[in-house]
Amino acid sequence: MINLKILKYAQIADVQKCTTLNEKTIVSDMMLRRRLTRNARIALYLADQIGAEQNAVVIGNGYGEVSETYDILRAIYEKSSLSPTAFQNSVHNTPASYLSIVEQNRGYITTVSDLQDTASSVLKVGAIKSLQYPQLALMVTDSINFDQIAEINHCGIEFLEGGAALLVTRTSEEATITLRGKSYPKYSRTLWPMLEIIEQCESLPAGCGAIISIAV
């Protein structure tokens, strides 16, 4: 078991598209800003909220860049031209790449993609990497809003876009919060453990540090 102290946390979600991501302030270069995927915009916002710009980072997204992949598949089906930007942005580690570029972060950044278990895997990777780095930013983002999402959204997900992040450090202090597998049916399952951790952080008495044990 590795215990992580949660120094800061942040979350955001919207039924269609998050509109308060502060992109113009975070990414001053207009041309670069226009190329950002939705997942990248959310990741940059979360990193700014928790002050993760120059820390080691573990980013998770359960389904990759769905919108860009959909655009590519639609272009192939319609036999139209493929967008070079969509092709470039279709890989699962796109948010990590943009975070590195925008923040000029030359440190450790990795991406985890594990479908509905993504948040759990991000926490495990983060716990292991806490043995090497004094602080880490752990975040999960998902944007699954594309033209025909209603045809395949059989899980009742209402918030089609969102993310959650933690700034953590390893500690020898005892855990004060415990994951109990709480469900958040309106959100993508990829976010559930992160949402539960943040909910418990917010319910702790003043002055009680938020510490969680992660089995690795």
Q: CA-to-CA distance for 125 and 114, rounded, in angstroms?
A: 12
pTM of the model as a whole: 0.91
Note the pLDDT tens digit of each residue in 176-209.
999 999 999 999 899 999 999 999 999 888 778 8
The CATH number of the domain covering residues in 2-214: 3.40.47.10
**Exposed / middle / buried, residue 119 (Cβ in 10 Å: 0-12, 13-18, 19+):** buried
Q: CA-to-CA distance for 119 and 191, rounded, in angstroms?
A: 6
Q: What does the domain layout of the chain look like in residue ranges?
A: 2-214
pLDDT at 42 over 90: yes
Highest averaged pLDDT of the listed ranges 95-99, 164-168, 206-210:
164-168
- Mean pLDDT, rounded, for 48-60: 89
Q: Say if residues 99 and 109 touch (Cβ distance below 8 Å).
A: yes
Instruction: Quote the pLDDT of residue 153.
Output: 62
pLDDT at 87 over 80: no
* Residue of 189, 166, 182 lying closest to 11 (CA atoms): 166
Q: How confident is the model at residue 133 (pLDDT cuts 50, 70, 90)?
A: very high
Instruction: Quote the pLDDT of residue 187.
Output: 92
Report the DSSP pairing between strands 161-171 and 2-14. antiparallel
- Provide the mean pLDDT of the chain: 89
Instruction: Quote the pLDDT of residue 149.
Output: 67
Note the pLDDT tens digit of each residue in 64-77.
888 888 888 888 88
Q: How confident is the model at residue 48 (pLDDT cuts 50, 70, 90)?
A: very high
